[in-house]
């Protein structure tokens, strides 16, 4: 019987509309983690750590702190296998994704993308990984193009088919006050969930406003 492999989970969810669970996690993030846990258990492997990039875009690995922490820990030899729900959760930048796979391969760390049926521990898995990484990047580009077309319609005042204007009025909130609240000591600091309720704006919306105002710091979450 083979010894259990020290393994980790990587899960990411983009900064979009979300539904929180009882564990205060994005619903999709929790689902991804549970899927990975079940697969690792089925293979008889041990999950020693879970890396979660919540409300993070996959367009560049530079903006994925937990992804980079995972690669750093891999270099330190902490694990030998990564479980991820899908290739596009691993990222949406082909160069970054393939570079990460090559690095992990050199460190003898395999990646399993459960819902894609890809396992880089197998020769065929490496080839498919490269193809799907390119498709993930193309999908990201298409989303950006569609978003920009919508913004262009909004700028030009073009109506929708229903006759209603594009987009929604931007809520007026005091971003500086949110930043000050999030800079308070941990015991006194309100959670993102509390701020979302108090200011009547989504968590992703607040984070985007903070980024636009130049207040966002990935290391401190504000």
Contacts of 206 (CB under 8 A, 6+ apart): 173, 175, 178, 192, 195, 196, 199
Please provide the average confidence, as pLDDT, over all residues in the chain. Answer: 78
pLDDT at 138 over 90: no
Sequence-ordered alpha helix ranges (H) in 4-64: 27-42
pLDDT at 188 over 90: no
E strands, 87-203, where?
Answer: 110-113, 118-119
Give tens-digit pLDDT for 45-103: 999 999 999 888 888 888 899 999 999 999 999 999 999 998 888 877 777 887 888 88
Please give the pLDDT value at position 97: 81
Confidence of residue 219 (pLDDT cuts 50, 70, 90): very low
Q: What are phi and psi of 84, to 5 degrees?
A: -140, 140
Please give the pLDDT value at position 3: 87
Q: Give the rounded percent of residues in the chain with a pLDDT score beyond 70.
A: 69
Q: Which of 5-19, 31-45, 91-105 has the highest mean pLDDT?
A: 31-45
192 HSE (CA, 13 A, CB side): 18
pTM of the model: 0.57
């Amino acid at each position: 019987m083979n010894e259990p492999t020290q393994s980790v989970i990587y899960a990411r969810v983009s900064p979009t509309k979300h539904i929180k669970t009882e564990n205060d996690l994005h619903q999709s993030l929790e689902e991804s983690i549970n899927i990975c846990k079940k697969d690792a258990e089925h293979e008889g492997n041990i999950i020693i750590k879970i890396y979660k990039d919540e409300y993070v875009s996959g367009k560049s690995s530079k903006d994925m702190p937990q992804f980079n922490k995972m690669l750093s820990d891999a270099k330190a030899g902490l694990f030998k296998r990564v479980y991820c729900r899908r290739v596009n959760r691993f990222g949406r930048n082909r160069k970054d994704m393939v570079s990460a796979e090559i690095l992990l391969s050199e460190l003898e760390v395999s990646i399993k993308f459960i819902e894609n049926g890809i396992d880089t521990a197998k020769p065929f898995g490496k080839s498919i990984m490269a193809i799907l990484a390119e498709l993930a990047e193309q999908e990201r580009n298409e989303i950006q193009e569609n978003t920009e077309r919508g913004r262009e319609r909004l700028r030009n005042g073009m109506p929708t088919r229903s006759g209603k204007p594009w987009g929604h009025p931007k809520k007026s909130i005091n971003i500086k006050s949110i930043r000050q609240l999030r800079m308070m000591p941990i015991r006194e600091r309100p959670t993102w969930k509390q701020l979302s309720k108090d200011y009547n704006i989504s968590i992703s919306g607040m984070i985007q406003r903070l980024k636009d105002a130049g207040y966002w710091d990935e290391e401190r979450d504000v």
